[in-house]
Amino acid sequence: MAPEPRHRQWSYVVERHVPFESFDRLTLEDPAFTEAAEAFNAGLVELGAAPLPIVSAPDALATEAGGIWVGTSGAPSALTVVNALPEPACEQGFRLFVSEDWAIVAGEGPAGAAYGLAALLALIDSAAGTIPAVGMSDWPSVDLRAVYLDELPSQAQIDELAALRLNAVVCRDGRLFGLDNPETAGEIAAVVAACRARHIEVIPLLDLISRADVLLQREPAMAEGIDVEHLFEAVAGQLIPAEPWQASAPPFANLLISPAAPFSVWMGETLCVPAEDYLPPPPASFPFSGETVEVATLPGGAISEGERVLARYTAALSGTRDACTSEPLWQAAAQETVSEIVTLMQPRYLHIGLDPFEAFAADSRCRQRGLDNADLLAEAVMLLDAAAKSADADTRLMAWGDALDPFREGNPFGLAAAITGLPRDLVVCVRNFRSPEEDDDAMAALTHFSEAGLAVAGVPDASADSAAFWSATVAGIAGETALIYAASLYDPSDPWATLSAFAEAAWAARPLPPQQAPPPLGPPEEEHTVPLGSLTLAGLAAVCATLGFLLLRTRRDDALAEKPERGLTD
């Protein structure tokens, strides 16, 4: 996949194609480009050509015959040629120039150089063994172009993402909670290193509040629950309901027991003593199935046969997967998990999930604090943000927008108002199970979060049309822009069918027809061209000298001209 570049021109007055065998080495301005050069050589092998020797030569002239020079556009030896091409708008951009005897790939940064080499590879006609003599300038429309995965990527997936110019992967992997195991920590560190070598960010996704399965497996008492207070009667050594049962959970089922959520039995105003008056019940295990446990009275204890007592406890509803953010055990575990992940992976972004809630702030651990639901959620997110920034001050949180979106899931628990108390650098990932042109709520959500001063990332559905629409929409937002391909959440049967279309749309967003275009969410993107009038006299002289050099040189010396041309597959 090679999107049409923003700018492309012939290097000579007439169309010209150069035998690729004219090039005999890759000259690197900096050893940091070695990974990109090796990926280029791997591509040559796939085309049936021999890999080129890789030479690290910081002071080499970019226009030395036979060389493909790879570096940054700031290098003096590259400026003469590439400055005549439009300047890329970001560090992921590149300019390349192919002449008869040499080629230049000048990235605005290391990622740009890698993308430029990939673009050069895509120009090669393997059947003819030639490459067009062209000048190109290109850069992405969307800054962060991510793919969501249910696990850390394999090397094959890393290679595919790099080939598609995707530069981030959002990973929801249970191993992220297992850093106390040195082997697991080593596996994760190796994946992060492999991704960074291909200019791909790894964004760990930790489900810490909603759908917090891993944390709840470790300590079920961290789950959201309901308060139960009911009269029981001692019958044949067991406590059984003395009145009709009306609570949502069955008697003594899904018990959540912790210092903040104690199990207690009362005789009037007297607190019964566990292990003396009754046998303490075991806490529930996760997942919560609704299985009941028995609470037995003990011989010689205060609870006599037929005695009525009041039991007070916290119980999870069957199927609950959400955490209680007021539970001190959760606060400690969540902060520790975040700190460990950020310390090991040093991610630029940390995704904290926030899928729609099944329950929120339903028991006394939250209610007794006197905060409303929005304040409780904002407090929890701020706690996670503080833990991340204590490990690395530059880490930013990401979250799905579902629970915060007043047009979708925010209303049932009143959580939409939480946005005023969230970290100001939070990135809200707006996803919709229909594409925006079919649902105005998605556009309303983008506008809502943007106007609140929060950064937004778009999450298209599994269709190519949705990817194109979201790309064009997000590309018009001021500041850093982001898209996440999460088709596996929409269509698990064939999640990768439109990955290439998404990648192309995210790199080269095209304006939409007027009837489909979304309202602007920020100032229009500036034109990134280099008007002739902006060049200095020295710059104009350099451009003219280069063009004259290219137009007047001979096509090939006689010896080279007599050599038979070979295709790359010969």
Helices 34-46 and 110-123 cross at an angle (nearest 10°) of 20
- pLDDT-above-90 percentage for the chain: 61
Per-residue pLDDT at 548 exceeds 80: no
Contact 254, 318 (CB under 8 A): yes
Position with higher pLDDT, 250 vs 61: 250
Q: Confidence class of residue 490 from pLDDT cuts 50, 70 and 90?
A: low
SS (H, E, C) 364-376: HHHHCCCCCHHHH
Q: In the structure encoding, which two tokens stand for residue 24, read together? A: 């005999």
Smallest CA-to-CA distance from 133 within 96, 165, 81 is with: 96
As a whole number of angstroms, the distance between CA 246 and CA 251 comes to 10
**3-class DSSP state of 236:** coil
The amino acid occupying position 2 is A
The long-range contacts involving 386-390, CB below 8 angstroms and separated by at least 24 positions, are 386/335, 387/334, 387/335, 387/338, 387/339, 387/342, 388/338, 388/339, 388/342, 388/350, 390/339
Per-residue pLDDT at 410 exceeds 60: no
Per-residue pLDDT at 522 exceeds 60: no
DSSP 244: -
As a whole number of angstroms, the distance between CA 406 and CA 486 comes to 22
Tens of pLDDT, residue by residue over 344-373, are 999 999 999 999 999 999 999 999 999 999
Ranked by mean pLDDT, which of 35-44, 332-341, 446-455, 545-554 comes out on top? 332-341
Q: In the structure encoding, which two tokens stand for residue 61, read together? A: 């002239």
pLDDT at 76: 59
pLDDT at 122: 92
As a whole number of angstroms, the distance between CA 426 and CA 354 comes to 13
The amino acid occupying position 20 is F
As a whole number of angstroms, the distance between CA 56 and CA 97 comes to 20
How many residues in the chain?
Answer: 570
Strands 67-72 and 25-28: parallel
DSSP 292: B
Smallest CA-to-CA distance from 118 within 39, 28, 11 is with: 39
As a whole number of angstroms, the distance between CA 327 and CA 534 comes to 62
As a whole number of angstroms, the distance between CA 216 and CA 201 comes to 28
| DSSP secondary structure letters along 452-463 | TT-EEEEE--SS
Per-residue pLDDT at 43 exceeds 70: yes
